[in-house]
Structure 1
């Protein structure tokens, strides 16, 4: 009966919608416009009030936690001497939460003597629209810092910042840790002095429909092209683009016009943000909306190069490794006040410049594996428009028009055949 049980479990997983799958597939369900699809199988972890009780995060795993108002939460890391370690924290406020311009999160990595290895902040911006925001921390050996050297225990500190007027409810957190191995041989220790900062003309042509996912783990894969989606006020769409060593990424997001005489204006209505493979913020762009088509173009970024990490500017040092880069599009909840609930037409134009080049030569494997390279599977997913997480399981059910009832009949057939075989074996 073990085989039958395995089939039944598989069927149950296919028939049941996993958490956030409806949002990831672009299907309205419940509070769809504010949904965030946390990674399936994310382990729950409680942030400690101090370092003594901090639980250890493991590389390659995704965690789910929460962040109370006005406090700090601590998690610990066990690091070796040579690897670079990156930790990202995505904060998700409750739908309808009251926010101010300065509300946000601060993430830092500290050693056992309270020295900060890094820190970064992220806020909700002028629109004050509740949506997922992400900040990251790192302990790096390349570039090396005067402090935070050597193996040992380090701490991730996640802090909620802002004003006293914001909503008091806790925010959900998604935490991810990744490690990057050292190189087999030393590289240059300065960033490129010059790179092509000119913006090419945006791609033209008929847009293909690619609905974005509802979280990093459910991001829809896209490559170079013109992509169309529907987006509602308060909604955030996630896309991922495989960008190889030596390639340069350009992207613009366009919000379509409304029919009739539009009245009103929404500040910072459309927001487009770029994150690198460890979910570190690279840059962003936003634009207001008056009912007429508006475009938010990302400022140019350099081609992916290992030595970009030695630059001071985020738009350069963020392009430090190959892998899946994330384009995150948010439509402010305030758009609904002036222009209705939508959905609104969104056009995403993505361009990749340059041929893939060989990597710098790592002396080991990243955790998770293949995090800093573009694989054949990544390219195929971008061509097919694949999404991560449970979407693949739901796609398996949909292939060939197989419905839930048919799946159940298949399982019953497997059960019957297995029972008959075992009866004959006795």
Structure 2
């Protein structure tokens, strides 16, 4: 651990210590560099937890992020304590090793949140693979929503479970899990204060609009998971992706808005004559801020001599939509995620990486959100001006956290530096006044240039002892010597206070 100084410069030293203590950000290799497909990037601050096969000994989890693993055919239990005011969103991400064998449709996870008496809450998730034989990260959440007509409205203990549904032909290796528990504050006034139902103008318009066109392409920086997803704003973005890889991006979507996105995979340079069509070659999946999956993830076919495009259009972010039967994924404001997957079968056409174009648009005008009884932004919900700025720059989530920390340290350092300069100025002025008030006009003890210092004297210099270099100056314990220090040598007049 770096030691931090104390005293007049403690504030500045503390700022420097914070900088020195900051964890180093792992810099991912550029997408066009050779190398293996990156694994899913777990959260740096995730806690380890071990779910149990039976509910009786299930470990407790609180709002935050956790890591675990799950074997083929296993079911893992976790215990949570919920009040009667906040809604709960508990997600699970399964991250098989790239190249793992999966059956495809029907294989994945089954998530549930239920009372200890076995009564299931209305919001469950079942993320599955949509591409035959391709392993990639899948995610969804289970929810307890306040105001929904189910058996989960009371305060008390609840059980969150993750079950892996895999056939015997699937990969036998354990899948890493990332579990995230998010608590959405209740509304001021309780369930009776729920905003009105969505209007017809937004609810009826479900046809996917045309993708964004025009404008220069900006460089995107896709991440390996939700935790380092690259930020995007409205416009056209470019990136590169390896066959078999999933890259994550995020877009701020506020209340009253919806995400419209289209992802294109470029054609191969040398596809050969009559290249075959690869089914499920390109896929894109959308998630809400709590990692709940919107509908099915669409995969499209790819032929090497042509480009392919996968598009999606999320529902409007309106609080009341969570009570409708048609929307299993609650709409909340905040970062919406895009997970782009390219089949490993495309490695026959792309030895390194393929070009990716992302056309991003956010439809609708931002509206005032519900009146929460607590701080929803601290819980991970809502869109801030800082989020919008980060999306414009294309920084990923990890870069954003580092930038915020460094900015805080910089502000602290500037404030501490200003205080230090002011303190030194006051100290110097006081010392000069003391020097002027000393007998004979000589510096007082402890003032700059006075006895016990090597600073500025009455003449502005400190004479050196004859025949000696600067490091031979006399200090306060040596006393004056012939021709040294600020005092005269033999035969010279002594200062008044030194006369015998």
Distance 1:137 1:319, change over 3 A: closer
Within 1, Cα distance between the matches of 2:31 and 2:270? Answer: 27
1:6-155 aligned at under 5 Å gives the runs 10-11=19-20, 13=22, 16-18=24-26, 21-22=27-28, 26=31, 31=36, 33-59=37-63, 61-101=64-104, 102-117=106-121, 118-145=123-150, 147-155=151-159
Tell me the equivalent position of 1:369. Answer: 378
The structural deviation recorded for 1:109 is: 0.6
Structure whose residues are more often strand by fraction: 1
Within 2, Cα distance between the matches of 1:304 and 1:120? Answer: 19
The structural deviation recorded for 1:370 is: 5.3
Distance 1:201 1:170, change over 3 A: same
* Counterpart secondary structure, 2:294: strand
The TM-score, its normalising length taken from structure 2, stands at 0.72
Within 2, Cα distance between the matches of 1:394 and 1:181? Answer: 28
Query: Structure 1 residue 330 and structure 2 residue 334: aligned?
Result: no
Within 2, Cα distance between the matches of 1:158 and 1:370? Answer: 23
Query: Structure 1 residue 293 and structure 2 residue 337: aligned?
Result: no
CA-to-aligned-CA distance 1:337-382 (integer Å, 9 cap, x gap): x42333111111011122211112111123x715221101101100
Tell me the equivalent position of 1:421. Answer: none
Tell me the equivalent position of 2:433. Answer: none
Query: Structure 1 residue 170 and structure 2 residue 174: aligned?
Result: yes
The structural deviation recorded for 1:235 is: 0.8
Within 2, Cα distance between the matches of 1:390 and 1:40? Answer: 13
Distance 1:319 1:350, change over 3 A: farther
Tell me the equivalent position of 2:486. Answer: none
Within 2, Cα distance between the matches of 1:260 and 1:341? Answer: 11
Q: Is the 8 A contact 2:3 2:17 kept in 1?
A: no
Tell me the equivalent position of 1:271. Answer: 283
Aligned length: 386
Q: Is the 8 A contact 1:143 1:189 kept in 2?
A: no
Selected match of 1:157 from 133, 154, 161? 161
Tell me the equivalent position of 2:438. Answer: none
Q: Is the 8 A contact 2:182 2:379 kept in 1?
A: no
Within 1, Cα distance between the matches of 2:404 and 2:198? Answer: 43
The structural deviation recorded for 1:83 is: 1.0
Distance 1:58 1:395, change over 3 A: closer
Query: Structure 1 residue 200 and structure 2 residue 206: aligned?
Result: no
Within 1, Cα distance between the matches of 2:404 and 2:117? Answer: 49
The TM-score, its normalising length taken from structure 1, stands at 0.84
Q: Is the 8 A contact 1:269 1:332 kept in 2?
A: yes
The structural deviation recorded for 1:202 is: 1.4
Within 1, Cα distance between the matches of 2:255 and 2:62? Answer: 27
CA-to-aligned-CA distance 1:99-133 (integer Å, 9 cap, x gap): 10222111111110112113221112233211110
The structural deviation recorded for 1:248 is: 2.3
Within 1, Cα distance between the matches of 2:144 and 2:381? Answer: 17
1:310-349 aligned at under 5 Å gives the runs 310-314=323-327, 318=329, 320-336=331-347, 338-349=348-359
Tell me the equivalent position of 1:223. Answer: 233
The structural deviation recorded for 1:286 is: 1.5
- Structure 2 residue runs of 5 or longer lacking an equivalent are 6-12, 407-452, 454-500
Moved more, 303-312 or 374-383: 303-312
- Structure 1 residue runs of 5 or longer lacking an equivalent are 398-423
Larger Cα-atom Rg: 2
Tell me the equivalent position of 2:250. Answer: 240
Within 2, Cα distance between the matches of 1:294 and 1:264? Answer: 14
Q: Is the 8 A contact 2:231 2:251 kept in 1?
A: yes
Within 2, Cα distance between the matches of 1:253 and 1:220? Answer: 14
Distance 1:28 1:153, change over 3 A: farther
The structural deviation recorded for 1:27 is: 7.4
Within 2, Cα distance between the matches of 1:395 and 1:236? Answer: 27
Within 2, Cα distance between the matches of 1:268 and 1:229? Answer: 20
CA-to-aligned-CA distance 1:374-407 (integer Å, 9 cap, x gap): 101101100111212267549999xxxxxxxxxx
* Counterpart secondary structure, 2:52: coil
